[in-house]
Structure 1
Amino acid sequence: MNRILYTNAADWPALIARLALAIVVFPHGAQKLLGWFGGGGFQGTMGFLTGDVGLPWILALLVILIEFFGPLMLIAGAATRVAAFGILGNFIGIVVSSHLKSGFFMNWYAEANKEEGLEYFILLFGLTLISLIAGGGKASVDAELTKRSG
């Protein structure tokens, strides 16, 4: 367990990566769980993910929980690698199921209903991998626990 939480308490890039990742993913989770930012909330998202997307209810629930609580864990730097791993798995599933066929670009200027490309996800995966490798870094719960156990 110590290896999962271990981090360098002076690592600024790890802090920056985990906060950037949390800031980008949290609104998606808040849309899904709470209905913030124009989202469907828990009921609407569960209905969409289990009905339209066809996910089993347990996977739909995990998507919602990972996208909401994962960023909160990242902000605190608490079990950073666990949160990053959950986010990585979640977004790999999203890319494979919905975005691989759409190419590189976001395609916001294209016709309606065209899926987003991979550029956002490449950046998200980069930040996630930094968090997986470095852990929480500076100003994290993981760093405090590392100091106490060392």
Structure 2
Amino acid sequence: MTRQTRRDLGLLALRLGAGAVLAAHGTQKLFGWFGGGGINGTGQAFESMGFRPGRATALASGLGEAGGGALLALGLATPVAGAAAAGAMAGAASVHVPNGFFSQKGGLEFPGVLGWTAASLGVTGAGRYSLDHVTGHRLDRIWMIPVAFTVSAVAAAALIGKRVKGLAAAEDDEDA
């Protein structure tokens, strides 16, 4: 087995694992599968966490996770898929930051690792065993990496910033 084959098999395994986990979490939000709340339940939960409007945020988060995860697993449009999933995980991590790092205390470990993995795959590429390779990398161009990650970072920062401001305003109202 060549080094290239080992690399491509490793990327395939990583894409399938991370993509499946992301897609499953996204379908919880979008469709209520696997014990999830669906758009309405997730939207209400997001509202309670300070994301407004909750339903729109649930839709965006679900699409970033389910769509990004499915595309990562397939190895299709890998820069966009990685950026979308990483952006969704940045939003999730922002909720868990106050609880520290480790998951057993509700920390950001899980969304952080998923986001980091998605971002790394988006930058690295899907490898030979992917739809990107089959399509001649039509949806995996070098210029897509900075564009996709910039758009994702700006969107995630805006969403998180809006949440932080809303939570601060709500806290000020409680103090008054």
TM range (shorter): 0.7 to 0.9
| 1:103 pairs with one of 100, 104, 110 | 100
**Partner of 1:24 in structure 2?**
21
| 2:38 pairs with one of 37, 41, 58 | 41
| Structure index of larger Rg | 2
Query: How much identity, in percent, do the aligned residues show?
Result: 35
**Partner of 1:77 in structure 2?**
75
Please list every run of at least 4 consecutive aligned residues from structure 1 whose deviation after the TM superposition is greater than 4 angstroms: none
Higher relative contact order (CA 8 A, sep 6+): 1
Say if 1:64 and 1:122 are closer, same or farther in 2 by CA, change over 3 A: closer
1:146 aligned counterpart, secondary structure: coil
CA distance in 2, matches of 1:32, 1:125: 17
Question: Could you list the runs of 5+ residues in structure 1 that have no partner in the other structure?
Answer: 1-7, 108-114
Question: Could you list the runs of 5+ residues in structure 2 that have no partner in the other structure?
Answer: 139-176
> Contact 1:15 / 1:136 at 8 angstroms: preserved in 2?
yes
CA distance in 2, matches of 1:147, 1:125: 23
**Partner of 1:52 in structure 2?**
48
CA distance in 1, matches of 2:73, 2:100: 31
Instruction: Normalising by structure 1, report the TM-score.
Output: 0.75
Say if 1:122 and 1:91 are closer, same or farther in 2 by CA, change over 3 A: closer
CA distance in 1, matches of 2:66, 2:58: 13
2:107 aligned counterpart, secondary structure: coil
Q: How many residues align?
A: 132
2:102 aligned counterpart, secondary structure: coil
CA distance in 2, matches of 1:94, 1:122: 8
**Partner of 1:142 in structure 2?**
132
Letter in 2 for 1:137: G
Deviation at 1:20, TM superposition (A): 1.7
Aligned-residue CA RMSD in angstroms?
2.4
Whichever structure has more helix as a proportion of its residues is: 2
Instruction: Normalising by structure 2, report the TM-score.
Output: 0.65
CA distance in 2, matches of 1:44, 1:143: 38
> Contact 1:77 / 1:136 at 8 angstroms: preserved in 2?
yes
